[in-house]
Amino acid sequence: MEIQLAEAAAGLNAFVKASKAGAKVFYGPLYTCVDLEGLALAASPLAYTLPASIIDFFQVSLGQVGAGFLRNLRLSETNLDGAPGQLPAGYSYIATSIGIWLPPQLPMHVKDFFTRHVSVQNERHSHVWKMGAVQFWPCAEFGHQSLSAVSNIANAVIQYGVNGRVGMRALPRGAELYFPAKEVIKFTMNTFEPLNVTTNGAVWNGIAFGAPGSNQINPVDGCPIYIVMEGWRFEELTA
């Protein structure tokens, strides 16, 4: 006896419900970054000047080239593993916290620039959440940490953009960010002024990295800026 439409629909609904009920759940970050040095090189190869612009985040996935990188992005730079800007089918993510991480090894003028002259927003279809200035979304709980703003070591001054450990901002209950499977994830930063992406804030002096007097940032390390979300990732059993 052939299965009827109502029975087939009920069976499908039961299967979908069971697969969702048995979903594997992971807690941890969803993150991505852009290499400002690579973006500046593309925009101004003789000066390494990044013009005032809109920088897209979460638009390049793991293993793809882009976001200022001339090679495939590694897991150290993003764990977005779907299509560009999307979680893969069968995966969903709920963000309970969000922050912008400026790694402590970045030149001080770059960190100052991003905390004073840059804004961030989340875009979802026609909806735009203007989150405001980058400085109001700190994230200094990862990587190297310093409990002082300035340290003197062997006649060298090492500066940090934060004074101590500052955790990312927790979103209040009911204001979490929900990203269903295959929905576009997009954050942008608006830089309102040009930025020289060099070690000293001046235009590139034409001396290659490693040579005496060069103000070029190490091209291997680059100049990464991260957006990090903390939360829950759901993987359906049928994914």
Sign of the CA dihedral with 180 first, then 143, 214, and 115 last: positive
Any domain includes 3: no
For the ranges 52-61, 104-113, 174-183, the maximum mean pLDDT occurs at: 52-61
Q: Is the pLDDT of residue 8 over 80?
A: no
- Residue 205 banded pLDDT, cuts 50, 70, 90: very high
Question: How many domains does the chain contain in total?
Answer: 1
- The residue among 174 and 239 whose pLDDT is bigger is 174
- The residue among 126 and 72 whose pLDDT is bigger is 72
Is the Cβ–Cβ distance between 94 and 176 less than 8 Å? Answer: yes
Rg (CA), the chain: 21
Query: 165-198 burial, b if ≥16 CB within 10 A, otherwise e?
Result: eeebeebeeeebbebebeeebbbbbebeebbbbb
Three-state secondary structure along the chain?
CCCCHHHHHHHHHHHHHHHHHCCEEEEEEEEEEEEHHHHHHHHCCCCCEECCEEEEECCCCCCCEECCEEEECCCCCCCCCCCCCECCCCEEEEEEEEEEECCCCCCHHHHHHHHHHEEEEEEECCEEEEEEEHHHCECECCCCCCCCCEEEECCEEEECCCCCCECCEECCCCCCEEECCCCECCEEEEECCCEECCCCCCCCCCCCCCCCCCCCCCCCCCCEEEEEEEEEEEECCCC
Any domain includes 200: yes
pLDDT at site 76: 92
pLDDT at site 44: 95
Any domain includes 2: no
Distance of CA 199 to the CA centre of its chain: 22
**What residue numbers bound the domain in which 154 lies?**
23-235
Q: Which of 16-30, 166-180, 219-233 has the lowest mean pLDDT?
A: 16-30
Any domain includes 51: yes
Is the Cβ–Cβ distance between 221 and 197 less than 8 Å? Answer: no
pLDDT at site 3: 60
Is the Cβ–Cβ distance between 209 and 63 less than 8 Å? Answer: no
Average pLDDT over residues 143-153: 53
Q: Which two tokens stand for residue 239?
A: 């994914």
N-terminal to C-terminal alpha carbon distance within the chain: 31
Any domain includes 159: yes
For the ranges 124-138, 142-156, 168-182, 199-213, the maximum mean pLDDT occurs at: 199-213
The rounded percent of the chain whose pLDDT value lies above 90 is: 51
- pTM, full prediction: 0.82
Instruction: Give the Cβ contact number of residue 37 at 10 Å.
Output: 23
Any domain includes 13: no
Average pLDDT over residues 109-122: 92
Q: Is the pLDDT of residue 152 over 60?
A: no
Q: Is the pLDDT of residue 67 over 60?
A: yes
Any domain includes 11: no
Q: Is the pLDDT of residue 148 over 60?
A: no
pLDDT, tens digit, 9 for 90 and up, residues 160-192: 555 556 778 888 888 889 988 888 899 999 999
Any domain includes 4: no
- The residue among 145 and 34 whose pLDDT is bigger is 34
Supply angle C-alpha 75, 78, 81, rounded to 5: 85
